[in-house]
Amino acid sequence: MAPTATRTSLRKRKPVERLTMDVDDDGPKRKKKKTTTTKAAKTKAVTVKVEPRAMKTSDDVPSTTAKKTKTTKIKVELAKAPPSGKSSAKSSHKKVPNTTAKTTKAKTKTTKKMDNSSVELPDEVWGAIAQFVCEDVDEDKLYSTNRKSGEKVDKRKVVYKRRLDTLFAMRGTNKQLCRVMSSDFGEEIFQLAFENFCEVSDATHGIDAAPPTMLWRHKAFFLTGLGCQTCDAHPTTRKPTWVFGVRMCKDCLQKHTVIHQELQDESWTKWATYEELTKGLPHDEVQGWSKFFRSAYTMIRYWRQSVKNRKALLRHAKTPSERERICAPPALKQDKQLLEKKAREKRKEALKAELDLIGCELRADSKLSELFIEGFPKSLRERKKWTAKKVAERMAQMKYLHEYCREFKATIQGWRREINDMFDHYGHGYGNYTYEVTGFYSLGAAVRDLADTWTRFPKQWPWLVQPAT
Pick 429 or 218 by higher pLDDT: 218
Of 77, 84, 67, 10, which Cα lies nearest the Cα of 37? 77
| Interatomic CA distance for residues 88 and 100, integer angstroms | 14
pLDDT at 168 over 50: yes
The pLDDT tens digits for 63-91 are 444 444 444 443 434 334 444 444 444 44
333 band by pLDDT with thresholds 50, 70 and 90? low
pLDDT at 16 over 90: no
Q: Which of 51-55, 159-163, 330-334 has the lowest mean pLDDT?
A: 51-55
Q: Which of 9-18, 190-199, 259-268, 352-361 has the lowest mean pLDDT?
A: 9-18
The pLDDT tens digits for 431-443 are 578 888 888 888 8
Q: Per-residue pLDDT averaged across 49-59, rounded? A: 44
pLDDT at 236 over 60: yes
What are the residue boundaries of the structural domains of the chain, listed by start? 123-225, 231-329, 343-464
CB atoms within 10 A of CB 78: 10
Q: Provide φ and ψ at 355, rounded to 5°.
A: -70, -35
Burial, 168: exposed, middle or buried (Cβ in 10 Å; 0-12, 13-18, 19+)? middle
Pick 29 or 152 by higher pLDDT: 152
Q: Per-residue pLDDT averaged across 109-132, rounded? A: 66
| Interatomic CA distance for residues 432 and 222, integer angstroms | 51
What pLDDT does residue 301 have? 92
The pLDDT tens digits for 355-391 are 998 888 888 888 888 888 888 877 767 777 888 889 9
What pLDDT does residue 410 have? 92
What pLDDT does residue 320 have? 85
- Please state, for a pLDDT cut of 90, what percent of the chain lies above it: 10
270 band by pLDDT with thresholds 50, 70 and 90? confident
What pLDDT does residue 119 have? 56
DSSP string spanning 35-64? --B-SSEEEEEEEEEEPPPPPPTT---BHH
What pLDDT does residue 252 have? 92
What pLDDT does residue 104 have? 45
Residues 193, 167 contacting (CB under 8 angstroms):
yes
| Interatomic CA distance for residues 409 and 283, integer angstroms | 49
Pick 4 or 322 by higher pLDDT: 322
- pTM > 0.95: no
The pLDDT tens digits for 178-211 are 998 988 888 888 988 888 888 788 888 888 888 8
Per-residue CA distances from 15 to 2, 65, 136 (Å): 24, 14, 100
pLDDT at 230 over 70: yes
Q: At what angle do helices 367-374 and 339-357 cross, to 10 degrees?
A: 140
Pick 310 or 148 by higher pLDDT: 310
